[in-house]
Amino acid sequence: MLLLCLLVGQAAANMASPEINGSKGAAPLVSRQLDVLSETLHIRAFGRLDSAEVHASYRISAPPGVHGSLPLLFVAMDIHDVLRVFYDGRPVALEALNTADFASFLDPEKGREEEVVVDFWGGNGGWVYGVKDLQAFTLDITPGEHTVDVYYTASPWIDRGDWIRETSIRYSLSPARHWKSFGPLEIVVDVPEADGLFRTTLKAPMDGSLPGRAVWRFTEIPADHIAIAFTPSVDASARLLMGLSPFGLALAVGALLLLLHIRWMHRFRVNGNRGRSMPLVIGALLAPLGFLIAFLFSYDLIDMAIGPDAGRFHGYTFMYLLLYPVIMPLYALGCSLLDRFWKRRYAGEVEEVSA
């Protein structure tokens, strides 16, 4: 039984990604002709991060001699509504993307001209976005200071990789590396009260806390992207089952089956039976199967205890049944050795009594 447990404990079956992508909102790619004097990012979340209103406001400055039309770009992937852009308080119409306007930022792949690579997330590379996921607009630039305001509703990311699913709102800051200069950045996050744990990828806020309103201020880019995440609370019974894990629950069932099987085999031999042991055969077939079935159904039991917030991403757990042809003979071998010992012992006692 111990070997059986070790084999199951080492198996794995997840084949797909547990993450459902949400909005990859990112700041505009600003021409190196412009200075960004400051940025204010306001994220107002709803519910348990079911969605969020995002308002990114930029104070930009054009030096003397810089004027005319200037194309800018914004990522708008998987957002709930249409991106809205305002320049000095006036709405700006969105346009079809002309990749030639952003040759230094975009890298179309040969044969995949409908996709471009934008290095928004940093680290080991960029992210491939379809042209439809990039919103372009043109500003009529004149020397001096101006404001650019961008609004949209972000859809959440959902991570089902753990027992309890986690929702998060993410925002990319890495486009600021393309700016001519980077001024102060203020991030304001408003989230409502909810029964669970909020966390961010940022350090502790300067003002406030989550849930509620929290404010961060930076003089440099704090990260390539930020995330506000929420994990809901679950009751004590669900936490207990999660702590035990499917392996622990199956181990308890397996231990019970083992004890019942040993007791049955022992009673068969202690009663003086010397022929083939049916308890040995039946138990060797059913006990390993019962252990594996308990292991599989433990996932559903824990998910039911958690409720609608369960991640329910466990991969192809039914493939654990493929271990049966491996562990059943090993289990049967151990039981047969024990049965042989009892057979010799109790058969000898019967002969002594008869003599």
Distance, CA of 248 to CA of 94 (rounded, Å)? 56
In this predicted structure, the answer to whether residue 155 has a pLDDT above a threshold of 50 is: yes
**Residue 349's pLDDT is what?**
58
Mean pLDDT of 272-288: 92
Strand ranges, E, within the chain: 19-20, 25-26, 35-46, 51-62, 68-75, 84-87, 90-92, 94-95, 115-118, 127-130, 134-141, 144-154, 157-159, 166-172, 185-191, 196-200, 207-208, 212-218, 225-232
pLDDT category of residue 124 using cuts at 50, 70 and 90: low
Q: What pLDDT score was predicted for residue 290?
A: 96
Confidence (pTM)? 0.79
pLDDT single digits (tens) 17-58:
677 777 766 556 566 677 888 999 999 999 999 999 999 999
* pLDDT of amino acid 316: 85
Is it the case that residue 62 has pLDDT exceeding 90? no
**pLDDT at residue 12, rounded to an integer:** 34
* SS3 per-residue string spanning 143-177: CEEEEEEEEEEECCEEECCCCECEEEEEEECHHHH
- What CATH code is assigned to 19-232? 2.60.40.3680
What's the pLDDT tens digit per position in 204-263?
A: 999 999 999 999 999 888 887 889 999 999 999 999 999 999 999 999 999 999 999 999
Cα 85 to chain centroid, rounded: 31
Rounded Cα–Cα distance for residues 155 and 1 (Å)? 47
CB 134 within 8 A of CB 76: yes
* Three-class DSSP labels, 245-298: HHHHHHHHHHHHHHHHHHHHHHHHHHCCCCCCCHHHHHHHHHHHHHHHHHHHHH
- Residues forming beta bridges with residue 212, ordered by sequence position: 191
3, pLDDT greater than 60: no
**What is the bridge-based pairing of β-strands 225-232 and 166-172?**
antiparallel
Q: Write down the domain spans for the chain.
A: 19-232, 236-354
Token duo for residue 341: 């010992």
Give the span between the Cα atoms of 243 and 253, in whole angstroms. 16
